[in-house]
Amino acid sequence: MYSSSIADAPLVREPLHAPVAHLIRGGMIEGIHYGSVVVLGGDGDVRFQLGDIEAAFYPRSALKPVQAVAMARAGLPLDGELLSLAAASHSGEERHLAGTRRILELAGLTEDHLRNVPDMPFDPVVRDAWVREGRAPSRLAQNCSGKHAAMLYTCALNGWSLDDYLDPGHPLQQAVAEIVEDLTGQRIARVTVDGCGAPLFSVSLHGLARAAARITTAAPGTPEARVADAMREHAEMASGSGRDVAALMRAVPGLLAKDGFEGVQVAALPDGRAVAVKIADGANRARVPVAAAALAFAGVDPGSLTEFRGEALLGGGREVGCVQPVRSLEPVAVSACA
């Protein structure tokens, strides 16, 4: 079981990543993706590890469920679609923009209060439509706007200042940091700025998996359970139509999953089994099949994971290879080359 004590911060060092996936073309290894993988059992013990699961790293948006828990603990009253959006890296679809506006309205605020960076929608189809229509980048369209709107709502409810809500010393960010340490079970190693402008806390891959497991095993009605339920029930609100992370939650009953830029993936089941993946070069083409293989290693039925085998490698317009998890995951791998 998990300890209630908080361990020292993970070491800031060059991660000792290992090969986690091979690019197979014509039956031969053409390239190698390095990274790290951890699989936790329902009791919290490490059942499988590859690479460096204890070095400090930046979870990027994979930490958003933890940030959402922190806001819920601080009084954020959202549930359902809007709470899922508070933990989202959304695609910029109209429902995401409308949901973010709704959170701001509940707080008595407007888009002008947001301090995330203006951007175009994340989804390429939606983004192309914006370009054709001559629409400019906006804070509302940026993929973290739901989180930022929820942060502002949390500040308004607590009487905290709004203009500086992204300052690491702000009461909101101090509250987030406290919950990051509580759920990961370790001190934060370093604080920097994420792409959206919010503080980004460095923990270990092991700590990230532990946090996800603690969220999915929390008692019903707790802030953790509210976040997990919202994201699982409204997976497209936490991501978008056609996104692999939403498809993964639909394919595996009870699974909570969140991706992050630079090849990060975390996922956890209601019984506490959890996996976390970091691809060293940030490649999504390796993140998806490696995460699926890790889930199969954790005991998820491989048959439910076949659509996550990863993109094919093409030659002359036909499939001649694939991205395949390394041999240590092979006994339960869901990826197989043509």
Q: How far is CA 320 from CA 192, 293, 326, 334, in A?
A: 42, 21, 18, 17
3-state secondary structure 126-187: HHHHHHHHCCCCECCCCCCHHHHHHHHHHHHHHCCCCCCCCCCCCHHHHHHHHHHHHHHCEC
Q: DSSP secondary-structure letter at 287?
A: H
Amino acid at the residue 197:
G
> Confidence class of residue 329 from pLDDT cuts 50, 70 and 90?
confident
Residue 224 has pLDDT above 90, yes or no: yes
Span 223-234, average pLDDT: 98
- Regarding predicted confidence, which is higher, 313 or 338? 313
**Parallel, antiparallel, or unpaired: how do β-strands 318-325 and 18-25 relate?**
antiparallel
Q: How far is CA 274 from CA 70, 172, 336, 337, in A?
A: 20, 28, 23, 26
pTM of the shown model: 0.95
Q: How far is CA 305 from CA 288, 299, 300, in A?
A: 10, 11, 8
Residues 153-212 pLDDT 10s: 999 999 999 999 999 999 999 999 999 999 999 999 999 999 999 999 999 999 999 999
Span 77-84, average pLDDT: 98
Number of H helices, E strands in the chain: 10, 11
Residue 338 has pLDDT above 60, yes or no: no
Asked if 61 and 260 count as a contact pair (C-beta separation under 8 A), the reply is yes
Residue 332 has pLDDT above 80, yes or no: no
| Distance between CA atoms of residues 225 and 221, nearest Å | 6
Span 95-115, average pLDDT: 98
Residue 80 has pLDDT above 70, yes or no: yes
Phi, psi of 140 (to 5 degrees): -65, -35
Q: DSSP secondary-structure letter at 315?
A: E
Q: How far is CA 238 from CA 90, 227, 229, in A?
A: 6, 11, 12
Task: For Cα atoms 140, 193, 85, give the angle at the middle one, nearest 5 degrees.
Answer: 35
Q: What is the pLDDT of residue 312?
A: 86
Residue 89 has pLDDT above 60, yes or no: yes
Phi, psi of 56 (to 5 degrees): -65, 140
Instruction: Give the total residue count for the chain.
Output: 338
313: left (phi over 0), alpha (psi -120 to 50) or beta: beta
Amino acid at the residue 61:
S
Asked if 63 and 180 count as a contact pair (C-beta separation under 8 A), the reply is yes
Q: What percent of the chain has pLDDT over 90?
A: 92
Closest CA to 308 of 283, 336, 275: 336
Identify the helix (H) or strand (E) that includes residue 256.
strand 256-260
Residue 331 has pLDDT above 60, yes or no: no
Taking every pair of C-alpha atoms in the chain, what is the biggest distance, in angstroms? Answer: 62
